[in-house]
Amino acid sequence: MNDKKTHRDQLYIIGLLNNDSIIIKEIYEKFAPKVIHYICRNSGNEHDANDIIQEVLITIYHQAQKNNFKLTCPFDAYFFLLCKRMWFNVLKKTSKKEVTINEEILSINDDASLLSFETIEFDERQQLFEEMFQKLGNACKDLLKASFTIKSLQEVADKLGVSYAYVRKKKSLCVGKLTKLVQGSPVFKKFKN
């Protein structure tokens, strides 16, 4: 994707990153009605649609923040496809019967499909990491949280009131345990396939 030209709608991504209220308001005014209409026509209501829109905007924000995200298609197509896929995932989780969605004829290009797939996968990986992180003991969680924000292990040791050697060994053990939890998850196995 790096060799593709950045779309002019990158301004929406930058606006989200900068928490620009004018851009965020524009996103809601221009793109939300289509999502609300779609979800209301497919077993949902306006409240469901607003939840999906909010979740998608947060996901886009996190992906753009961590991965220097570059939009290579119209924001409308990307945003709508993300909302649609997240809504479909909600329906799959909550429905006991097979879910079918009424498809509209859309002119969504390949870039929008690829970008939305990458964003959904990014969100699923983040959720998996968070879920497995919560399974760690408090000592591991505290140590890893400190090491995520403080780059120097000596500073982490000082903050936690322990030795540098302890922090180094304990961090290695905690990362190993977290890795084992993540890799043992059925969700992780899905990513490998």
The mean per-residue pLDDT over the stretch 51-70 comes to 87
Q: pLDDT grade, residue 113 (50/70/90)? A: low
The mean per-residue pLDDT over the stretch 85-107 comes to 64
pTM of full prediction above 0.85: no
Count of residues for the chain?
Answer: 193
pLDDT digits (tens, 9 = 90+) for 132-170: 888 988 888 888 888 877 878 888 888 888 888 888 888
| Residue 148, token pair as written in the block | 């995520």
Residue 97 has pLDDT above 60, yes or no: no
Rounded CA-CA distance 101/120 in Å is 18
pLDDT digits (tens, 9 = 90+) for 30-42: 999 999 999 998 8
**Any idea what DSSP says for residue 9?**
T
User: What mean pLDDT, rounded, does the chain reach?
Assistant: 82
Query: Phi-psi region for residue 43, left (φ > 0), alpha (ψ -120 to 50) or beta?
Result: left
| Domain extent listing, the chain | 10-123, 135-192
**Any idea what DSSP says for residue 101?**
-
